[in-house]
């Protein structure tokens, strides 16, 4: 199976980003974690990116806050799918990072998830890998079913609690 790379702009992003790791463990998807900055270590970020496909990666996730150019810079160096996580790490509550990540020019796409949306970023990466992997698809469908059953159980519980 292809690996997922999770790249963050700073180790200060780790508390947000690490919510993705449990998803990969749940689905048995191999992943690697890196800290590369679009601004502080641009050469290293590019070097990793341009060799990512030949190094066995299938999807790249990039998380950054503030003027969050990491996902876009990474997307510029590969045709692998890139998922951006805008991180809430400033006085602007992550809106700065959201706009910096999502507003990519035509031709260089970044699939941007919600501010601090590491779990959805990981799920989207798993779904991309599942396109060519029946077992992964089966696990995803089973996980959706379990989640739906939990909601329906809560529905029964709350409905009963407030029944007149
Ligand atoms: C961004 O600047 C990083 O992704 C981080 O979210 C933010 C602050 O970085 P530190 O100053 O905490 O290293 O590049």
90 has a pLDDT exceeding 90: no
Q: Percent of the chain at pLDDT above 70?
A: 100
pTM for this entry: 0.96
pLDDT of residue 79: 98
Ligand 1, closest atom to CA 87? 6
> With a 6 A CB cut-off, is 66 part of the ligand 1 pocket?
yes
**Nearest in space to 71 (alpha carbons), one of 49, 40, 88, 93:** 49
Residues recorded for the chain: 164
pLDDT in tens, 22-40: 999 999 999 999 999 999 9
Q: Percent of the chain at pLDDT above 90?
A: 98
Q: Any residues with CB less than 8 A from the CB of 50 and at least 6 apart, and which? A: 77, 78
pLDDT of residue 136: 98
Nearest CA to ligand 1 atom 2: 65
Which tokens belong to 123? 């799920």
> With a 6 A CB cut-off, is 87 part of the ligand 1 pocket?
yes
């Amino acid at each position: 199976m292809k690996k997922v790379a999770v790249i963050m702009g700073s180790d200060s992003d780790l508390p947000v980003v690490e919510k993705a790791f449990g998803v990969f463990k749940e689905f048995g998807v191999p992943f690697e974690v890196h800290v590369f900055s679009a601004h502080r270590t641009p050469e290293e970020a590019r070097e990793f990116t341009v060799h990512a496909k030949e190094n066995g990666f299938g999807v790249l996730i990039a998380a950054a806050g503030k003027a969050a150019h990491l996902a876009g810079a990474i997307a510029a160096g590969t045709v692998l799918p890139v998922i951006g996580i805008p991180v809430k790490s400033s006085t602007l509550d992550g809106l700065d990072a959201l706009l910096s990540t999502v507003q990519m020019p035509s031709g260089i796409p970044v699939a941007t998830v919600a501010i601090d949306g590491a779990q959805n970023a990981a799920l989207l990466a798993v779904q991309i890998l599942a396109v060519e992997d029946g077992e992964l698809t089966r696990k995803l469908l089973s996980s959706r079913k379990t989640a739906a059953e939990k909601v329906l159980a809560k529905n029964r519980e709350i409905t009963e609690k407030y029944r007149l």
